[in-house]
Structure 1
Amino acid sequence: MSKGKNSSKNFKGDGKQVSHRGHKYWTHEERQGHEAFQRDIASRKADREARRESRRQVRETNQ
């Protein structure tokens, strides 16, 4: 058991232990969801860049 004034800060409300830097260790499901979320953001960013590039090329050919 951890001792000291701030020992209660080492546990979040759900009872999961927190790392020494203060972030909660993620469960497998949370990590899976987060990685899928990051991939989704990256693919949307790539799509946006591709659309922007194609629009720029169309503008150059029209001039």
Structure 2
Amino acid sequence: MQEEIDEIKKRMDALEILIRDTKARLPAHSTKPPVMMDLLDYEDEYEALLAKRNALKNK
């Protein structure tokens, strides 16, 4: 179980970088839909992994 938690943490770390980089690519005005979709996908995956990690920790 700890190995799975460690893998989730690694992916979450990678997603944090992707989210930060994607937010930096967003223009101040007229947000581009593909960039926004990437950001939303990364944030959704991050939230799902966070919930999964918390569930595993509480077992």
TM-score, normalised relative to structure 2:
0.47
TM-score, normalised relative to structure 1:
0.44
More helix by share: 2
